[in-house]
Amino acid sequence: MTGRALLIRKRRDGSVVVDGGLPDRHVFSARWIARELGHLCRVTVTLTTSEGEQLYELEGFEPLDNGEPNLTALVCRRAPGRKER
């Protein structure tokens, strides 16, 4: 891995800051996304079709039989404000 890492810090007052600037590339672990989804991060999936781009927002991960999140199966909902095709 080259370049600097993304350093995210939560302050005592609840605010979130990035130390050292934003790198061009960063690897977010699926576990981090599962933990911070709806709090610190929002994830969108963009589908490129012949009719244009369609946005979906990640709601969470499909649960496994034991209740743990299946970090390879994304549950998404079409983003609000998009026209029905």
pLDDT in tens, 59-82: 999 999 999 999 999 999 999 875
Cα 17 from Cα 68, distance rounded (Å): 30
Helix runs in 1-85, H state only: 30-36
pLDDT in tens, 27-66: 999 999 999 998 888 999 999 999 899 999 999 999 999 9
What would the two tokens of residue 34 be?
A: 């599962």
The β-bridge partners of 41 are: 37
User: Phi, psi (5° rounding) for residue 14?
Assistant: 95, -10
Q: Which of 2-6, 11-15, 50-54, 64-68 has the lowest mean pLDDT?
A: 2-6
* CB-based burial label for 83 (10 Å; 0-12, 13-18, 19+): exposed
Instruction: Please state the domain extents for the chain.
Output: 7-78
